[in-house]
Chain A
């Protein structure tokens, strides 16, 4: 059976652990681990656990949707829109992971009965990625058991193992690697991102060098870990790198983590909270080396990794390296399509409609998930791209709704970003954009105990909150962000330890909305003026 827990909703009540202790476990106070594909003899236990979940976050064999998660019996949202299109139109979804699969389910649920094609370049049915860096890597769950439950059995033409190589907007066709062309009335781009490889190709090819993003990559890493490793070198201490480090320590393996920043998780959470993560890693026995980069990976004569040379001249002996340097958005297939697509992703409006290269919004091309970059009104209308599970789900739902709605019934994608991570037995959750901050306060709990709520502010308003093992309070702070409540928070709460003392958040410089986008404008008459993207040289 297939199980997925919406850990965005999960608040760590632990009821599932009581009821199905062989399927759900809590290695710490709140961090939940679960078997994504338990055997059928666990069925009764799992169903009991799902029924008992106080926030109804456990989905067994089917998935519900966020907007009406708890009200599936309520009437579907009105779409207005073109009835003929809803009956007989053609929709193509490129990308068959979380966002693509979710959108397909929502389209069918909300009454789209036309032809629906789902193109995915992996040979698998849509699967859940977050467990790959946790349960799968630790060996608790085989990689192939991470398939996502269906939203419903969507009546879709599913093309697995099929790579899209081009998008022709004038012909309204998606080109496939095998030469086929699939026509559409509307298309959803949900091609996501892939792991950024080690930049030096011969070094990246060494036996023992891995990246982690896909099921296959997780499987290869797991096999290597199971076969025995002397030391794992992890390059990059973002969330993926830190989670891999956590699993390796859990497996008892020596781990060295190298990050160019001053602390782990600094890019997402800033230096102050990153320092807590650093303590956590060191307490767990990680050899953490911050402020350094890996200059080169070294191999032996047989092409096996033997170690690395760091930027300070020191060396690390390691027979396995995990390159965790972030992701590259899968936009290459859109080159020449006329869309505003680049290394920053596919730019869209808040309703998931893609912009063309001139900045004009299209009406039949939509994008959702990791590949999309959209303006968020709460964050000064800055364009943000979010590589979060919850965003893929919420954005896909908005995109699907808007694809079958007329202008009057379209929704803006306004949900605040939420993400979570389980590492070193601690559940980390975040709402808002912590890097959009100049100061933070510890509003509840204690950093020393690693149980706290950190509230981030920007120019006097609350913009984000991060919890370590305090997930139950997150929704409260989400509402404060939505209300643009003043920062620092000036109210009394439980578990306030030593007053409110804002400190500099020390978040990294925010990346500009569309860095790398250089355009040439041509034409004089307003009817003629157009833009051409200048491709970066490298």
Chain B
């Protein structure tokens, strides 16, 4: 809820917070900084609980971190919040490509997203994702077959990473054999997304170089698809002419970059976090074997409990926004701590318990509002199929190290490796 005028605060130009009530508002900034420290990657959740004590917390750098469920939902649906970094008081340098729909606002956002959705979902292609089900199962089956001759595997390298990458490549029309090339660029882009350690200018430079290299690669590919169209999204984007017209060449590149990166840097975390959670709760693995449909709610609860995306950090206040008693000044960056919001005890009971039997699971795993995750239906389906097959086919799976080693990013958070041992692998059997 937006609570107007609950407190009267002002902000001095030097960035220090002044509270007329003399409250200690600077302290939470250090909590937010701690969350991004690599040492806390394995368990940021106790820090989120601290963070939520100040639902809207101003940071040293002038950004505002929002960590409670209701406030996050309100801001996701607040038209005074922009996703376009060009609206920042201190806008970032041009990255060499037009912004994709994730960093534009309506109406531009709506046009680009509608054009992309024509090849992915309703109203134009409602059956697209559902039609991939058989193919997805085939890919997962092949990957699990690949670890059948061993009793030890890395869930990340052997299943959770190659699976969504194969899927997004087929969907987009990107040759899988180019994976080593674009994987490096995608990693660069992701790891320089959120706040982190290291020199900012250096990070920006690296990010820009990766964006351009990926863009060049996809631009050439788009050209090839224009001449030789296939049954893939990239071909659709270059050839399509709908009620909204078509995308420019650069817009196609931006869109394809976004989908390629998002399509394989996030689902890997969802599947890996899922497997980690199940292995920490072996009773659930047993239940999933008995009740295959339970995987649907298991994945929803995962999106709440161990989501692949923890922060949306590139939002901007277009006007002064008063929320939870704090006024976010126009031009300020806003960070939405999605993973914290989904564990807000004011939103649901026992938020730190993993419970797929909750009657209604409403989470921020895919964000919300007009920027709600474009690929959500595909990510869901991938995670459901992967977790169902893994739990059904691995006999007596167990964790080797807990916690596992994590990837650097605090925003797209997930293990770098998840090494498990098992007795053996059962052959694929259709779930009845």
Contact = CB atoms under 8 A, between A and B. Distances in A.
A80 to B, nearest CB: 23
A446 B300 contact: no
B360 A70 contact: yes
B200 interface: no
Interface residues of A, number: 45
Interface string B303-328: 00000000000000011100000000
B190 to A, nearest CB: 24
A56 B74 contact: no
A43 to B, nearest CB: 9
Contact of A44 (B82, B122, B293, B361): B293
Contacts of B110: 451
A71 B349 contact: yes
Nearest to B105: A494
Contacts of B320: 491
Contacts of B129: 18
Greatest chain A CB density within 10 A among B4, B82, B360 is at B360
A52 B105 CA distance: 25
Interface in A57-78: 64, 69-74
Contacts of B388: none
B398 interface: no
Given A17-B121, A492-B330, A445 B360 contact: no
A476 B359 contact: no
A494 B318 contact: yes
Given A15-B376, A483-B4, A495 B106 contact: yes
A315 interface: no
Contacts, number: 118
A68 to B, nearest CB: 10
Interface stretch (B9-17, B41-49, B362-370, B407-415): B362-370
Interface in A6-40: 13-15, 17-19, 21, 25-29
Contacts of B360: 56, 64, 69-70, 72
A333 interface: no
B359 A72 contact: yes
A494 B82 contact: yes
B130 A28 contact: no
A52 B380 contact: yes
B78 interface: yes
B362 A51 contact: no
Contact of B123 (A26, A70, A475, A494): A26
On chain B, which size bracket covers the interface? 35 or more
A479 B348 contact: no
Contacts of A64: 359-360
A27 B106 contact: no
Given A15-B377, A21-B122, A70-B360, 12 more contacts: A13-B372, A47-B293, A48-B296, A56-B362, A70-B362, A443-B79, A451-B107, A472-B370, A479-B2, A491-B318, A494-B79, A494-B318
Interface of B: 1-2, 4, 74, 77-82, 105-107, 110, 114, 121-123, 126-127, 129-130, 293, 296-297, 300, 318-320, 330, 347-349, 358-362, 366, 368-370, 372, 376-377, 380
- The 9 A-B residue pairs with the shortest CB-CB distance, nearest first, are A493-B79, A18-B377, A494-B105, A495-B106, A17-B122, A491-B319, A492-B318, A21-B126, A492-B319
22 contacts: A18-B130, A21-B122, A21-B126, A47-B293, A51-B296, A64-B359, A70-B348, A70-B360, A72-B359, A74-B349, A451-B107, A451-B110, A472-B77, A475-B77, A483-B4, A491-B80, A493-B80, A493-B319, A494-B106, A495-B79, A495-B105, A495-B106
